[in-house]
Amino acid sequence: MGGSRLDEGETMTTAVSVRRARSAQPRVAPWAMLAPAIVLFVLFLLVPIGYAIYLSFVALRVDGGAFGVRRQVFVGFENYVTALANPEFVASLGRLALFGALSVPITLGLALLFALLLDLPGIRFGRFARTSIFLPYAVPGVIATLLWGFMYLPSTSPFNYVFRLIGLPPIDFLNEGVYGSLANIAVWSSVGFNMIILYTSLRSIPSEIYEAAKIDGANEWQIAWRIKIPLLTPSLLLTLLFSLIGTLQAYGEPTTLKSLSNSISHSFFPLMKVYRDAFGTDNISSAAAASVVLALGTLFVSLALLRLLQRRTFEETR
């Protein structure tokens, strides 16, 4: 009962006024508790986005001639047209799509595989595998790229060293194989976290569901395919959502690998172009427009997935 947690000082007088208000919901308290979050949300999510949108509709222009100082003018949708029509930006989206097509399915596929395997009865080294596969979560993307980068470098690569010993040709990780190399870093970094999400979902499935199947003679493979995976659909959609959002934001890893590779340009991925526009060529309005486009794209994809997720979850509970 609640009484044990209260001071002895609480008296009946306060209880009287409370009793009068007992049936009414507290009005002020929830807003007071929400206030810090709301203020911060407005300041650091809404205002920056609003500012970015504002910036995307203006630009710095000179008034003809050869020399002069740039002034800010309103340019309407010009920045958006330029950004979307810019072959470099479009190419960077294409490269991102290729990278995503490699890394997302592999990450989720492996995460699912490992989660299912861990859920099998009687496997060995489960604890060890689970802990170690989760470990890359503790490594920042930039550090992971540093580590893998040195292992890709011809002169320090252990892989090429071994290949040379057995007479195989060395793999050009940093140039020809750069998509694979980048995807590998992404997979390595995120498999563990996604695996744990799927694994904890699996663990929460009551075992009675399996009993019926086992009595019917189903083996583990069929159980996984027919029961576990369908039940995992909400979690899979969630991990897909996380992975897609992560992919769209790729910045630190390609930037770090750029210092080691000849094949990563300044605008290899969209965010790199945005950063370059904002801080390299001082074209902030273009950066703002591209940022808004990216944010809208991410929002759109996320909403679509969430819709799917909601529908599936409701179907489950019905």
Residues 139-158 close enough to bind other proteins by CB under 8 A: 139-144, 146-148, 150-151, 153-158
Question: Which amino acid, 142?
Answer: V
Of 8, 20, 22, 206, the one binding other proteins (CB under 8 A) is 22
68 torsion bin: left (phi>0), alpha (psi -120 to 50), beta (else): left
Does the footprint of other proteins cover residue 222 (CB under 8 A)?
A: no
| Among 64, 167, 169, 206, contact with other proteins (rule: CB under 8 A) | 64
Residue 59 near residue 75, CB atoms below 8 Å: yes
Q: Cβ-count burial of 254 within 10 angstroms (0-12 exposed, 13-18 middle, 19+ buried)?
A: buried
Within positions 237 to 266, which residues make up the interface with other proteins, using CB under 8 A? Answer: 238, 245, 248-249, 251-252, 256, 259-260, 262-263, 265-266
- Closest among 192, 174, 173 to 131, alpha carbons compared: 192
| Interface with other proteins, residue 313, by CB under 8 A | yes
How far apart are CB 101 and other proteins at their closest, in Å? Answer: 19
- Cα-based distances in Å from 137 to 114, 125, 149, 186, 229: 16, 20, 18, 11, 24
> 64 or 101, CB closer to other proteins?
64
Shortest gap between Cβ of 72 and other proteins (angstroms)?
11
Q: Could you give the 3-state DSSP secondary structure of residue 58?
A: strand
Query: Is 272 an interacting residue with respect to other proteins (CB under 8 A)?
Result: no
Distance CA 318, CA 297 (A): 32
Quick note: the x/- pattern for other proteins over 65-104, rule CB under 8 A, is xxxxxx-----------x-----x----------------
Site string for other proteins, 115-144 (x = CB under 8 A): --xx-xxxxxxx-xx-xxxxxxxxxxxxxx
Asked if residue 231 binds other proteins (CB under 8 A), the reply is no
Task: Yes or no: say if 186 and 107 are a contact pair by the CB < 8 Å rule.
Answer: yes
For residue 116 the two structure tokens come to 């299912």
161-180: contacts with other proteins (CB under 8 A): 161, 175
Is 209 among the residues that bind other proteins (CB under 8 A)? no
Q: Which of 181, 174, 183, 173 is nearest to 100 (CA)?
A: 183
Among 109, 281, 307, 308, interactor with other proteins by CB under 8 A: 281
